Chains A and B, each alone.
Chain A
Amino acid sequence: MSDSVDVSKGLPSNPEKATLEGKNKFLGFWVFLGGETIMFATFFGTFLGLKEGTAAGPTADELFSLPLVFIMTMLLLTSSLTSVLAMFSMKKNNFKNMMILTAITVVLGLGFLGFEIYEFYEYLHHGLGYTTSAFASSFYTLVGLHGAHVVFGLSWFITLMIRYSRTGGITLTNAPKFYLASLYWHFIDVVWVFIFTVVYLMSIGGA
């Protein structure tokens, strides 16, 4: 199948799907994302069901601060854009640009992660331990699961960047890998859109 790829004129226009391997990865990754949607939905449902159960511990109203969540949202949204732009550079066979944009994505993601760690640390100081209440457990599990996805996504980007820095160009092997990492990153952003709406804004505004 990969024999039919025309490479005589240079990098194919959709390098991530030029080979059979790339096509399979693309399809398989979307199956995975469909499943991830369901997994996150169950955690969202659990949080929504349990968020009133604060058991005399700190409530969402007392803890959440809008400016912090706003900054985190902006960081993640912007990193989603740089990731999209990196994929355009990839299709144009501009390896250096792609690496720079991916690096910016990683930096923004690390910023997000830093704020999240600070946030959890603050909450812990305000007496919201993991087992304090049903609200605390469901909150930490949902937002922590998203944070774990961010960590994984960042490690994925960094690994790819280190591994292919020596190759010095976009190949039919590494194009699907960068593309999928970018899809994963967008998915993380999609989940965050629902987290800041359902967890933070609804807890503050819905009281």
Chain B
Amino acid sequence: MSDELSKPFTESSLSKEELMKMNRERRVQIITFAFMIFLTVLAFIAVGMEMIEPSFAIPFILLLAVVQFVLQLFYFMHLKDKDHQWPNAFMLTGIVVATPAVIALVLLLGVTKY
């Protein structure tokens, strides 16, 4: 069996339907990428143009970052696909711990003032 594992294949076992599904997914990925580029440009414009109030621009670019975060994880890293329940659980655990950690650090360091 170990021979089998390090042997290249001459062909792919993908059926026609699977191949079509994959090509469709690929198209979705490229659209996702274009959308992420758009969001990035939007964030840079929101700050670079200096026309938008910081009180609005900051939450706005943070929201854009969260959207990009979700797109990356679910599309590029395939978290939306099946057989990804555990990866979803792990990432969710990470986020659940990370969020209060950030908030606590900002508040505590803000109080002690370096």
Contacts and interface: CB of A to CB of B under 8 A. Distances in A.
Interface of A: 2-3, 5-7, 9-13, 17, 19, 26-27, 30-31, 33-38, 40-42, 44-46, 48-50, 53, 66, 70, 73-74, 77, 80-81, 83-85, 88, 91-93, 95, 134, 167-174, 183, 186-187, 189-190, 193-194, 196-198, 201-202, 204-207
Given A53-B113, A91-B12, A168-B8, 10 more contacts: A3-B1, A30-B90, A31-B90, A34-B93, A77-B40, A173-B5, A194-B69, A196-B43, A204-B48, A207-B54
Contacts of B77: 183, 186-187
B65 to A, nearest CB: 4
Nearest to B48: A66
A2 B101 contact: no
A190 B73 contact: yes
Q: How large is the interface on B (under 10, 10 to 19, 20 to 34, 35 or more residues)?
A: 35 or more
Interface of B: 1, 4-14, 18-19, 22, 25-26, 29-30, 33, 36-37, 40, 43-44, 46-48, 50, 54, 57-58, 61-62, 64-65, 68-69, 72-73, 76-77, 83, 86-87, 90-91, 93-95, 97-99, 101-110, 113-114
Contacts of B10: 10
Nearest to A19: B5
A41 B61 contact: no
B22 A88 contact: yes
Contact of A13 (B13, B102, B106, B114): B13
B11 A10 contact: yes
B50 to A, nearest CB: 8
9 contacts: A10-B10, A31-B90, A49-B107, A81-B33, A81-B76, A186-B72, A201-B44, A201-B61, A202-B61
A31 B36 CA distance: 26
A202 B87 CA distance: 31
A11 B91 contact: no
Nearest to B40: A73
Nearest to A93: B12
B101 A41 contact: yes
